[in-house]
Structure 1
Amino acid sequence: MAALAWLLIPLVAAIAAGLWGSWASRTRKARSDGPELDGYARFRAAMERSHTHTVGANASAVKVKAADVVEDSRAGS
């Protein structure tokens, strides 16, 4: 009888694994990509805006686009 009890443990584990597998692979409601795409659009707009940087203690402000900074850093390496 004790051997049957030990065989029941893997059987119950297999049933539980099958139930979990069917639950994990269920078809979920499709989510729209709206919020993620809106956030990406805001990120791109922020990166394309001009930024003001000061160079040195007494230097005047210089406007630099983010794309120019990226190009300059690629050219230097």
Structure 2
Amino acid sequence: MGVLVWLIIPLIAAGAAVVYTTWAARDRRAGDVAEVAGYERFREAMQRSHSGSGSV
């Protein structure tokens, strides 16, 4: 029985490693497009509000 436990431990560790590498290698660029677009809108709004404010 003890031998089976010692064989199961590396199998569980290998499974956890596969799950972690799959999670770590996921495509995270999908959210970046929306964030960059939001940042561009923010910059445009800030430029519009400062361009017509006159002297400071």
- TM-score when normalising by structure 2: 0.53
User: Which is higher, the Rg of structure 1 or of structure 2?
Assistant: 1
Unaligned runs of 5+ in 1: 51-64, 67-77
For the aligned residues, what is the CA RMSD? 3.0
Structure with bigger strand share is 1
Q: Which residue of 2 aligns with 1:9?
A: 12
By how many angstroms is 1:29 displaced?
A: 8.0
- TM-score when normalising by structure 1: 0.44
- Quickly say closer, same or farther: Cα 1:30–1:40, change in 2 above 3 A: closer
By how many angstroms is 1:15 displaced?
A: 1.1
User: Which structure 1 residue ranges, 4+ long, deviate > 2 Å from structure 2?
Assistant: 25-39
Identity %: 14
Residue pairs, 1:50-69, within 5 angstroms:
50=54, 65-66=55-56
SS in 2 for 1:28: helix
Structure with bigger helix share is 2
Q: Tell me, in whole angstroms, the C-alpha distance in 2 between the residues paired with 1:34 and 1:19.
A: 28
Q: Tell me, in whole angstroms, the C-alpha distance in 1 between the residues paired with 2:28 and 2:38.
A: 24
